[in-house]
Amino acid sequence: MTQTRNDGARGAGRKRTADDRRGSGGHRGATSRRTAGTSRQRNRYRRALRKEAPVVVGLLLDDQDFALMTGDRSFPFDEYAVYLHHLDGLLHSLHAQGTHIAVTLFDPDAYTHYCESTRQPPDSPQTRTRYVADVTTAGPAVPYEGQHITQLRSHLAREADRRATWERATDALMDAGPCPDCDRDLAHCAFDRASHTLLRVIEAIGPGAHHVVCSLPAPDSPPLLAAVEIEADEDGEVDIAEADALVVCTIMAAGEATIRRPGGLVVRTTDATGAETVRGWSLRKGEPHPLTEAEVFSAYCTDPETGDPVPPEPGVRYRAGLPLPPPRQEHLPGR
């Protein structure tokens, strides 16, 4: 009986095993069909995901930066023009696939510091890739939208200059300490007043396309200089380039908070008829004081590096700066 029970058990076991195999086979068959379906759609899915995966490309901005990289054996280029040609081709190819591309500044000096601080070999494509991913994404960058490589370099250089100017002005502003008129820090108060002052200048001038340039002497370094484009219509609505306005207002705030020498504000306005007018103000403790017509002419028609006179532009009118409307109460000290 025992043997019979064992045989029966083995038979039952064999039956269950066969059933399990059929069930397992059926499951594998379903999985195989699902896998086959995924295989047929794989390329479509990956293309869709690829469009949602951004790419960051580091760009050597000029031939001097390029020359610093040619000493690495793993760096494949010997001529800057060839490098730009192939980089342009890569960007076009990625853009054609619908990929979002950010082009950042590859700074060889910063790269050397990165390699030293992270103890990674500099002569390595992998290290260059990590540098772009780890460092440059926090620095100046411009989106690639199919523009020519020359235009792209120009945009990136301008963005790098703007970022460097903003960082210098911010560093100066952060050293300002507390505001003597309220319980906030002086940096925030000065920036708020600078933002309001910029709008007061545009309000005083009126409608038109305004190119605003702000300059401020800096001790032991080049002057802080930034510009912003502002459009104002007849109804008083203002369209402003916010990123540029941020830098201009930070410089104006730094002038109020930390730097004793006066700065300058020049506005070149194109009206509805196409006529251009230049006006100017000196910045003393953050507040604009109108320049005379002669002072505006002298400032605009003098080479800032040599001090030599520069011929006035044909058709451009030079006018005195306008008195500004008073600041709103919330922008007065202590408010």
> How many angstroms separate the CA atoms of 118 and 258, rounded?
36
More confident: 274 or 302: 274
| Beta-carbon-side half-sphere exposure of residue 256 (alpha carbons within 13 Å) | 22
Q: Please give the backbone phi and psi of residue 297, each rounded to the nearest 5 degrees, phi first.
A: -60, -45
Instruction: Determine the pLDDT at residue 218.
Output: 82
Rounded Cα distance, 263 and 260, in Å:
9
Structure confidence at residue 24 (pLDDT): 47
Q: Could you report the per-residue pLDDT of 147-174, keeping only the tens digit for each?
A: 999 999 999 999 999 999 999 999 888 8
Q: Residue 118 pLDDT more than 90?
A: yes
pLDDT higher than threshold 80 for residue 95: yes
Residue 102: both structure tokens together: 């950010």
At 11, the pLDDT band (50, 70, 90 cuts) reads very low
Per DSSP, helices labelled H in the chain are 2-51, 63-69, 80-96, 108-118, 125-134, 149-174, 186-205, 242-257, 293-300
| 8 pLDDT above the threshold of 50 | no
Q: What band does 19 get if pLDDT is binned at 50, 70 and 90?
A: very low
Q: What are the boundaries of each domain within the chain?
A: 56-146, 186-331
Say which residue, 203 or 52, is predicted with more confidence: 203
Rounded distance, CA 294 to CA 298, Å?
Answer: 6
> pTM for this one?
0.74
